[in-house]
Amino acid sequence: MSIEVICTLVTAVTSIIAILLAVYSFWFQTRQANRTLGIIILRDCERDFFYSTEMRRRRFEAARFLMTRQPGQSPPQACYELLDFIDCFGIYVNRGLIEPELAWNTFYYWFSVYWHSLSKEVDELNEQTDGVPYLWNCHMLYSRLTKWGERHKRLPSETLRYAPERLQRFFADELSACRDACESTEPTPDLPVTPTAHKSDAGNGSYGV
């Protein structure tokens, strides 16, 4: 093999390696940028859901309705506004910007109960709109995070998670946590005082509701 051929092969191999390194560098930088963006979005959503006055008012009104709802009673607007928030968050998780583990530890404890309690109303809404899948990302988010919790957090059965007494305790905790954000003067049901749920409840391996 001549020197010219060897030099040509070395040049070709070097070029291929350089291209592969450039592709890997681009992929790695894009991945890191998306991960950073996902964390920023997660923190913004976390701040809005747990600390903004408007969102805490919606949680209060939704919890009050779900605690005392009667057959055939329509949910207030706050319930749909809460689902809209969950649906928007679900877009980021379903598109891979936010990792399921981060989403589960931050929001599943709350999101799962509200979705379970209002999913029938969403089905009715879709029927009224000729099958247009509104709030579809809520459904996908619940399914994705539930499967993750079953695999990694030993999530108990749906029957146990959503037992009536646990739902009532969850809604009582929501009323207690969000009461000061609601300007309503309507009395809330008297229930036994229970510890208010915190974000850590969702991430410590125990399912609080």
Tens of pLDDT, residue by residue over 12-31, are 888 888 888 888 887 777 77
* pLDDT tier for residue 7 given thresholds of 50, 70 and 90: confident
Question: 2 pLDDT exceeds 80?
Answer: no
Question: 188 pLDDT exceeds 60?
Answer: no
State residue 38's pLDDT score: 87
Question: 183 pLDDT exceeds 70?
Answer: no
* Mean pLDDT to the nearest integer, 100-107: 96
Going from N- to C-terminal start, the domains of the chain cover 3-203
Contact 144, 166 (CB under 8 A): no
The pTM of this model reads: 0.76
Contact 110, 58 (CB under 8 A): no
Say what percent of the chain tops pLDDT 70.
86
State residue 138's pLDDT score: 93
Output 127 or 141, whichever has higher pLDDT.
Answer: 141
* Mean pLDDT to the nearest integer, 109-124: 93
Question: 190 pLDDT exceeds 60?
Answer: no
Three-state SS sequence of 82-139: HHHHHHHHHHHHHCCCCCHHHHHHHHHHHHHHHHHHHHHHHHHHHHHCCCCCCCHHHH
Closest by CA to 74, choosing from 132, 125, 116, is 125
Question: 204 pLDDT exceeds 60?
Answer: no
